[in-house]
Amino acid sequence: MQNFEFKVGISWGLFLAAGALMIAIALLTVSLQSFRAALTDPVKSLRSE
């Protein structure tokens, strides 16, 4: 590693931000799907089965 001319530092904040973004996307996806399922009329779902 000493032969490299430049060193790029990666901070912990970058990993925390990436993790927080992934969790936010997952929560948004699950929330939207749950909201859509809650608004769906169960009678229409049972008729199509």
- pLDDT digits over 33-45, tens only? 999 999 998 888 7
Which DSSP letter does residue 40 get? S
User: Greater confidence, 49 or 28?
Assistant: 28
Q: What is the pLDDT of residue 44?
A: 82
* Res 26 pLDDT > 90: yes
Instruction: For the chain, give the number of residues.
Output: 49
Identify the three-state secondary structure at position 10: coil
